[in-house]
Amino acid sequence: DQQVKQNSPSLSVQEGRISILNCDYTNSMFDYFLWYKKYPAEGPTFLISISSIKDKNEDGRFTVFLNKSAKHLSLHIVPSQPGDSAVYFCAAHTGTASKLTFGTGTRLQVTL
């Protein structure tokens, strides 16, 4: 039962353009959503998060949008840079259990 899904396994974007990574979830009890960036053979690095009571959070080039009615969130990276190439995971936090549930990841490739 995959409660957090990232339906696009990969995405290729040209440098300078916008990257949009999507994530869907099924559990309405999640209270926080987080995005992580991960390189092979390394642990995830936190990027940005959003509370379930918000619909947008922005930090520099990264913006996360949350649509609670659609149970959908997205990460926008603009402008995209080659150094952004990595696997991006969305994760959802369950307050009562205090744990994270990860999506399946999207591999972003930013080309020159």
Q: Give the burial class of 90: count Cβ atoms within 10 A of its Cβ; 0-12 exposed, 13-18 middle, 19 or more buried.
A: buried
Q: Answer whether 66's CB lies under 8 Å from 77's CB.
A: no
Shortest separation between residue 25's beta carbon and other proteins, angstroms = 13
User: What residues contact 97, with CB distance under 8 A and at least 6 apart?
Assistant: none
Closest Cα to residue 62, out of 51, 46, 42, 38? 46
* CA pair distance 43, 56, nearest whole angstrom: 26
Shortest separation between residue 111's beta carbon and other proteins, angstroms = 21
Report the residue number, 28 or 98, with the smaller CB distance to other proteins: 98
Report the residue number, 45 or 111, with the smaller CB distance to other proteins: 45
Shortest separation between residue 75's beta carbon and other proteins, angstroms = 13
Shortest separation between residue 54's beta carbon and other proteins, angstroms = 11
Report the residue number, 6 or 80, with the smaller CB distance to other proteins: 6
Q: What residue ranges bind other proteins (CB under 8 A)?
A: 2, 9, 32, 34, 36, 41-46, 48-49, 51, 89, 93, 95, 97-105
